[in-house]
Structure 1
Amino acid sequence: MKRITTMMVTTVALLASTMLVHAQGELNIYNWGNYTSPEMIKKFEDEYKVKVTITDYDSNDTALAKVRQGGSGFDMVVPSQNYIPIWISEGLLLETDPGKMENFKHVAQKWADPDFDPGRKYTVPWAMGVVGTVVNTDVYKGDINTWGIIFDTPAELKGKVNVVPEMTDVIDAAVLYNGGKKCTGDLAILKKVRDTLVKAKPNWVAMEYGTIQKMGSGDFAASSDWNGSALRQRLANPKIHFGYPKEGFVNWSDNLAVLKDAKNPENAKLFQNFMMDPKNAGMNSGFHRYANGIDGSDAYMPADMKGAPEIDVPAEFASLGVPSMTCPPDVQALYTKIWTELQK
């Protein structure tokens, strides 16, 4: 009897200890800027007594380079799907088995077993969208559904165009504009891509990420951009519209992962499960204005997202989307070479 009592006390103590580990401490998230709902973070902090710190990055390459150095101090990161196989292959992510978590039942079937993370061993959905153009139609009245806005800039927009400097997005767009396929290794196509970019650059005013603010202020009249960003811009100024390039555009997703050297892995797992709850995913989407891969989350999104042309791809453009994917290393090296030349 004494032995049973002792075991019970020990079990209770262990459970209490485990709960404390799960319900207090810190969580350090490394994420794209302007992409995390403060309200949603506060809810997590209040619920689990965990202090969350968000540190911003501005590109997939920036995040990957930082974490590769080691000792980043971050627990979580939100890479795009075409980068996730790189993170996994380099041993940078912790296998957390989200597929076994309580809230995984809410993940949409389409996103439950993606090619970039088979079986969802490492990641959970954060957001998804497309890459296209955004144009102030007070400044330009022509067709906005073309990469020509960026690569063969109309006279009205010269010196007023921005390019969001995410390497893969820009080069993919130029590949599609030149009739190629994503991740092509065709040197003739890639030469056209290089020439297109070098020729177009003098017509751009900037290569920056801050499109929401600068499109709103009129510093930019057009930009390459992501659809959620475009929705935020249109809500502030109804003359700003998102274009779906007729040459093709990339469908992408960003996904929440735990770093292999995370200092707070249990809190990170809690947050992965938390983000698969429809209420929390919907709250987050209401801030960043992108869709996500969680069934039922749309019920918790703002009404102005329902049926928004930036979120629901119009039927006439739906077939033009191509999935984001990881390019072979030799192709990635060619992309990097072109990108390096463009930065000169």
Structure 2
Amino acid sequence: MKTLINAAITILAAVGLMFIGRYYLQSSQGLTGESNIVNFYNWGDYIDPDLIDAFEEETGYVVVYETFDSNEAMLTKIQQGGTNYDLIGPSEYMVENMLELNLLEEIDHDKLPNLKHIDKKFLDQSFDPGNQYSVPYFWGTLGILYDTSQIPEGEITSWNDLWKDKYRNQIMIIDGAREVIGIGLQSEGHSLNETDSQLIEQATAKMKTLMPNILALLADEIKMYASIGEAPIAITYSGEAATAMDENEDLAYMVPKEGSNIWFDTLAIPKGAKNVQGAHALMDFLMRPDIAARNAEYIGYATPNKDAIDLMDPEVINDPAFYPPQEITDHLEIYRNLGQEKLIEYNDEYLRVKLEPRY
């Protein structure tokens, strides 16, 4: 017994030293600019953890991974200062916002040889012309996830189909102002980035009439509820849909014919990063086709890496729900940064929708 206890103590001591050593590296070298630490601030569960190990083994860097649950939470922490992040994962509209606030470092493309693998249609977007401050990480769409055991394929093709009386209390919807008001706008042929207050109010009025069909407004948990059949319809993002579909083979996902949101999550370097060299190294590593393919298969979102696609499961990349054809992508819009005044207006109008009685 004593031998076992001594052995256990030895193991625990070794583990303790390992953690102390890693902490020491982070605390003593993290502010020097010569550290081998890369502090990565990203969405939760948004990288295959095995790839972090692979990057560390290949390069000698040590990745400290910290997560956020919204672009706004990330922005607030960056603005507060006192952080030591080298690489962050903002969405497209947040890149635009952070550029206005002078919070991003310019990227050195010479240090990103794997940028050549990114499909050109995902580069040079309006939120960051020339990709001077960000590179694409994942992309996807907002669409409709439905249970084919209850709703035949082809029964829903349009946002306007959601207003059918038969769907009363049958729809879960993502809890977001731009998403919900955007559905009202696009269902009437308007832009997701509409700034005309009269049209925004009309979209609000239309979405209020949808509320009897809404069972719940949800965040990330929508995928779990969809997978266990809490409702036959869920309006959510393609990656969330993919996760739910892995758990329930009766589920299918589609993008309405009027179009929808196409979103981009990116990789960027915050102003004042201490390890810019390490940040570039990790960005470039994640754009390597074999790495990007593994990451996409783990995460479930669509990769912008054209050469990674050749390495992936054909069943996945040939699914038009997740890699939509050109005729669909032509009708997709990114969310633009409309400014603080319009953001408040969208949020206020969305609150009116949420307060609408559903029964």
TM-score, normalised to structure 1, is 0.82
2 CA distance for matches of 1:23 and 1:213?
43
SS of match in other structure, 1:184: coil
- Does the CA-based 8 Å contact 1:168-1:335 persist in structure 2? yes
Does residue 175 in structure 1 map to residue 185 in structure 2?
Answer: yes
1:216 Cα deviation from its structure 2 partner? 1.4
SS of match in other structure, 1:266: helix
Segments ≥4 residues shifted beyond 4 Å: 21-24, 340-344
2 CA distance for matches of 1:51 and 1:160?
47
Match of 1:145 in 2: 157
- Does the CA-based 8 Å contact 2:220-2:240 persist in structure 1? no
1:104 Cα deviation from its structure 2 partner? 2.3
Does residue 239 in structure 1 map to residue 250 in structure 2?
Answer: yes
Match of 1:326 among 333, 337, 345: 337
Match of 1:253 in 2: 264
1:73 Cα deviation from its structure 2 partner? 4.1
Aligned pairs, how many?
A: 322
Does residue 187 in structure 1 map to residue 186 in structure 2?
Answer: no
Match of 2:169 in 1: 159
Q: Which runs of 5+ in 2 are unaligned?
A: 1-31
RMSD: 2.8
Match of 1:113 among 96, 117, 124: 124
2 CA distance for matches of 1:189 and 1:230?
30
Match of 2:81 in 1: 70
Residues 251-303 of structure 1: CA distance to partner in whole angstroms, max 9, x if unpaired?
Answer: 22111111113343332121111122111111111112222222311123234
Match of 2:288 among 257, 270, 277: 277
1:340 Cα deviation from its structure 2 partner? 4.5
1:190 Cα deviation from its structure 2 partner? 0.9
Match of 1:25 in 2: 36
Q: Residue 205 and residue 112 in structure 1: after superposition, are their counterparts in 2 closer, same or farther (change >3 A)?
A: closer
SS of match in other structure, 2:201: helix
1:241 Cα deviation from its structure 2 partner? 1.0
SS of match in other structure, 2:267: strand
SS of match in other structure, 1:53: strand
SS of match in other structure, 2:242: helix
Report the AA paired with residue 35 of structure 1. Answer: Y
Report the AA paired with residue 193 of structure 1. Answer: A
Match of 1:39 in 2: 50
Match of 1:83 among 94, 97, 108: 94
Q: Which runs of 5+ in 1 are unaligned?
A: 1-20
Report the AA paired with residue 133 of structure 2. Answer: Y
- Does the CA-based 8 Å contact 1:231-1:289 persist in structure 2? yes
- Does the CA-based 8 Å contact 1:23-1:267 persist in structure 2? no
1 CA distance for matches of 2:325 and 2:143?
13
SS of match in other structure, 2:93: coil
SS of match in other structure, 2:272: coil
- Does the CA-based 8 Å contact 2:33-2:275 persist in structure 1? no
2 CA distance for matches of 1:160 and 1:315?
31
1 CA distance for matches of 2:38 and 2:313?
28
Q: Residue 52 and residue 81 in structure 1: after superposition, are their counterparts in 2 closer, same or farther (change >3 A)?
A: same
1:306 Cα deviation from its structure 2 partner? 2.5
2 CA distance for matches of 1:67 and 1:171?
28
1 CA distance for matches of 2:280 and 2:325?
36
Match of 1:230 in 2: 241
Q: Residue 265 and residue 135 in structure 1: after superposition, are their counterparts in 2 closer, same or farther (change >3 A)?
A: same
SS of match in other structure, 1:127: strand
